[in-house]
Amino acid sequence: MPTRPSKELETFPNPMPERDYTIHVDVPEFTCVCPKTGQPDFATIAIAYVPDKACVELKSLKLYMWSYRDEGAFHEAVTNRILDDLVEACAPRFMRITGKFNVRGGIYTTVVAEHRAKGWQPPMPVQLP
């Protein structure tokens, strides 16, 4: 049976929940539709997150991203909706979604939205010589 777009995000248990570490996922072929003109919008969606108890399963993420292909959405709204849906699915310690949208009317748009779990503090960066 062929795969189809889906808004259902699956997760799996974090294999190292006792450690803060960052997962980076790039989605270079994200598409949605301009709600004003109906023309396609193309973007790279970058996801960076520190998981807590669960991680996002990548095939379900691919199908989730595909589900936006025919939806009308402003760049700001779709970036924030992706963040909300991913946070609801996996409840990360921290998550940042960056939407880098290709040119529309001579303008490139980048939207960054973040979530931080209550009480979570990022570790201090290590400076190596």
Among the listed residues 20, 34, 52, 85, the single catalytic one is 34
Q: Tell me the backbone φ, ψ of residue 105, rounded to 5 degrees.
A: 65, 35
Please, are residues 77 and 32 in contact by the beta-carbon 8 Å criterion?
Answer: no
How far does CA 69 lie from the centroid of its chain?
15
Query: Does residue 34 have an active-site annotation?
Result: yes
Greatest Cα pair distance in the chain:
54
Catalytic entry in 26, 32, 41, 70: 41
Q: Using an 8 Å Cβ cutoff, are 47 and 86 in contact?
A: yes
- Positions annotated as catalytic residues are 34, 41
